[in-house]
Structure 1
Amino acid sequence: MTQTAERPAPAGAPARGSHYMHGLDVLRVICSVAVLYNHVAGWAKMRGSDDFWLADLIEGGVVESLHLNELLGFVGVGTFLVISGVVVTHVSTREAPGQFLARRAVRLFPALWVAILLAWVLALTGVLGVNHPPEFGDLLLNLGLLNYSVADASTLLAVTWTLTVQVVFYLLAAATIPLLRRWPWLPPAIGAALVSVLISVTNNPTEGGPASLRIIASFLPVLFLGQLVMLVRGKRLAPLPAIALGLVHLWLAARAAATWSGTPDGPAYVRTLVLILLLLLLCTRANGRIARSRVIKVLADRTYAVYLLHFAVVLGTLNLLADPLGFWPALGIGLIVLAITTELLHRFVERPLARGFRRWEARRAARKTEFTRSSDR
């Protein structure tokens, strides 16, 4: 929500204006780096490589000091999820349910499909390692985010499990838009009840649909916490009931982690979530020169593309070049390729589709207005 003279924001993001939380852009950039670090450090650890000395500094200086998960597990992913809860809640107060879902779909799926196709090609050629050799049916499942619900399906991009959580949240948000506008406390309360039921019915799942439902139940509270932050900041919900509902969702997150050993991202899930919330509250107030800078804006607009591509591009490059060239040259090449592919995905998929959809919406609204005027004559 910067000045109105700037280009439109991507579909799914609120238009930049006088009330835009510029600090969230900074937070997006930081958590993109955290996610990238997590996977590169994980690759180096899996290969038994000591070349990634930066991991020793971060693990000793940050992870151990704050008692976080190894390799900053959940820091980047959790931050993305809570930001999504904030942003989605903001736009849902201004959009009809159908419009809301259409804009989220345009924002989410076309870029995802491109990234999935790239990962499928890399997996078929052996450049990218996956849990099972992919078949064409696996490609179709991944394109629809259904691979997590099918036992023994090949997962082409390991990061896409977070998108299954977001899609469920989007559906819940769309269904409760009328409630959110009249009784803002009710959607997060309904969400808490739903999460509690899902935790109860998915008792120690191992794979397939039950495990996917348990992951959704474990991480939905993160998005609802973001929703509560936005409701308070937008003065739609008083702090006291928001804090009470927030404590319920924190308890549900703790319950989910304590009752399932397969919870992703390690035992420090709840502790990390509390730190993320504190960081979020600080960043919602950030409005200085750095937060408003052109560099941060450009980087923030591309964080979704980075999130989708980094796993296949950077790890694929490391798999291909680390042995003949060494870790650091391979990583450098991987980051360059990531920057190029990110720009291509953003410039030729995300941005034109977002603008095209908004133009289509404008034309549709104009036709509807003209029809109404003609009918009134």
Structure 2
Amino acid sequence: MTESGLDVLTKTTTRLRRPPAPVAASRRNPGDRVAVLDGLRLCAAISVAVFHFTAINADRLWDGHSPFSRLTQASSYGWLGVELFFMISGFVISMSAWGRTVGGFARSRLIRLFPAYWPAVLLTAAVVTLWPSLNRPVTPQQVVISLTMLNEPLGVVPVDLSYWTLWAEARFYLLFAVVVWLGATRRRLLWFGYAWLIASVVAVKSQMPVLVTVLQPPYAPYFVAGIGFFLIHRFGSDIRRWGLVGLAWGLGMYSLGVRVAQTSRTEHRPLSMSVSMLIVTALFVAMAVVALGWTDRVRWRPLTTAGLLTYPFYLLHQHIGGTMIQHLHRLPPIVTVAVVILTMLVVAWMLHRLVERPLARLLRERLAATDAPVPPIQRGVSIPEPEWTASGPARAGRPG
């Protein structure tokens, strides 16, 4: 028995109308805040601060000799908190840039970075100028160039030496903007990570300064690891995603050798490569725990507050905290460090609440206003003459 032409047409139409196979849905909303990352971010900032106060600057801060022994042996590795910063940044930027345009991504970075950065630069400049016990007074040129956040590529010493990480972050944002421009998808993020890692290896081999500057081989593995952990957190485990994290870890172990050697020379003490590798591996494990969702139930509000304080704390702690230490020698050294860190956290909270939030709100409104559509000029409607002409002010009373 043969089917009629009508039956065949009906079945064909039904097949054409059948919805396509569903795409694997993400496990989480890309905008969901991960509270544990906020806590890890603050831990990284405090580890860097303790490193600055008890290890690398110990002789200058404590009258030529360090009062710490065992603490210094541990805090000498506190600089590895920066590597954790970069991993968290790769995770968070991948999460926050999802679904944005390039313009929206650029605005979000400006609003996130500068409202805390500008007042921190001015406050630090004022402190080290009024109390130049630890550092020489900064010059007006240093202040102006630091406000642009471009002091590193211009070769100008920043107001606070901790600002060097911001240049690394900025280069990451510029590279990531390519993915945003194309449209962030899990496939594009994955291949962007692989391409960046391979290109960073080529940059090292080529020894071309431009490639090294743009691709920043020492830090690329940590940003890429954060991207990989985000993909795992949102879309689940996959051999290609874990492969990206594994490759980032391997290249991170390679670049870590250069970082350990540089820090050993700066601190004037030998640092163990094995210990550094263990610490960085532990940081990767901590990020893996977050990526697998094992900490999703942790939603303590104090952790979110900690995340908000981390950036202003990091911007303020080194030179201002060091100046405070030099004026608190009457207290026991460990108490002095604790007091300074707590004070810096309070100052960071005040900066966030009183300056950063209002300034960010104002900047967001102004940037949004520039995107407002311009109404078209209607024919037949007279346009008023400007009050200023080429020959001078059109009204009396205007300044000339």
Which TM class, normalised by the smaller chain length?
A: 0.7 to 0.9
1-structure distance, mates of 2:338, 2:254: 41
What amino acid is aligned across from residue 176 of structure 1 in structure 2?
V
What amino acid is aligned across from residue 52 of structure 2 in structure 1?
H
Given the alignment of the two structures, is residue 165 of structure 1 paired with residue 168 of structure 2, yes or no? yes
Matched residue, 2:188: 183
Give the C-alpha shift of residue 242 in structure 1: 1.9
CA contact (8 A) 1:28 1:300 kept: yes
Q: TM-score, normalised by structure 2?
A: 0.71
Matched residue, 1:297: 304
- Of 147, 153, 160, the residue aligned with 1:149 is 153
- Of 318, 343, 346, the residue aligned with 2:349 is 343
Matched residue, 1:137: 141
Given the alignment of the two structures, is residue 127 of structure 1 paired with residue 132 of structure 2, yes or no? yes
**How do 1:188-199 residues align onto structure 2 when only pairs under 5 Å count?**
188-199=193-204
CA contact (8 A) 1:313 1:337 kept: no
2-structure distance, mates of 1:128, 1:281: 43
The gaps in structure 1 that reach 5 residues or longer are 1-15, 64-69, 204-208, 373-377
Matched residue, 1:13: none
Q: Is the partner of 2:76 in helix, strand or coil?
A: helix
What amino acid is aligned across from residue 252 of structure 1 in structure 2?
L
Out of 291-300 and 254-263, give the one that drifted further: 254-263
What amino acid is aligned across from residue 173 of structure 1 in structure 2?
F
**How do 1:189-338 residues align onto structure 2 when only pairs under 5 Å count?**
189-202=194-207, 213=213, 216-235=216-235, 239-258=238-257, 263-264=262-263, 267=273, 269-284=276-291, 285-288=294-297, 291-322=298-329, 327=333, 330-331=336-337, 333-338=339-344
- Of 37, 40, 44, the residue aligned with 2:50 is 37
The gaps in structure 2 that reach 5 residues or longer are 1-28, 265-270, 377-400
Given the alignment of the two structures, is residue 25 of structure 1 paired with residue 34 of structure 2, yes or no? no
More helix by share: 1
Give the C-alpha shift of residue 88 in structure 1: 0.2
- Residues 271-305 of structure 1: per-residue CA shift (max 9 Å, x gap): 432211101122442144xx422322222221111
Q: Is the partner of 2:184 in helix, strand or coil?
A: helix
Q: Is the partner of 1:180 in helix, strand or coil?
A: coil
1-structure distance, mates of 2:116, 2:141: 20
Matched residue, 2:384: none
1-structure distance, mates of 2:213, 2:364: 33
- Residues 209-246 of structure 1: per-residue CA shift (max 9 Å, x gap): 889939933112211110111012221x8621123223
Q: Is the partner of 1:74 in helix, strand or coil?
A: helix
Q: TM-score, normalised by structure 1?
A: 0.75
1-structure distance, mates of 2:139, 2:70: 38
Give the C-alpha shift of residue 260 in structure 1: 7.2
Q: Is the partner of 1:183 in helix, strand or coil?
A: helix
Give the C-alpha shift of residue 202 in structure 1: 4.3
- Residues 251-286 of structure 1: per-residue CA shift (max 9 Å, x gap): 333333446776458645544322111011224421
- Residues 81-102 of structure 1: per-residue CA shift (max 9 Å, x gap): 1111101001111211111111
Out of 164-173 and 351-360, give the one that drifted further: 351-360
Equivalent pairs, count? 333
What amino acid is aligned across from residue 295 of structure 2 in structure 1?
A
Given the alignment of the two structures, is residue 89 of structure 1 paired with residue 94 of structure 2, yes or no? yes
Q: Is the partner of 2:346 in helix, strand or coil?
A: helix
> Aligned-pair RMSD on alpha carbons?
3.6
Q: Is the partner of 1:292 in helix, strand or coil?
A: coil
Q: Which has the larger radius of gyration?
A: 2
Q: Is the partner of 2:219 in helix, strand or coil?
A: helix
2-structure distance, mates of 1:262, 1:137: 32
What amino acid is aligned across from residue 122 of structure 1 in structure 2?
V
CA contact (8 A) 1:185 1:242 kept: yes
2-structure distance, mates of 1:118, 1:128: 16
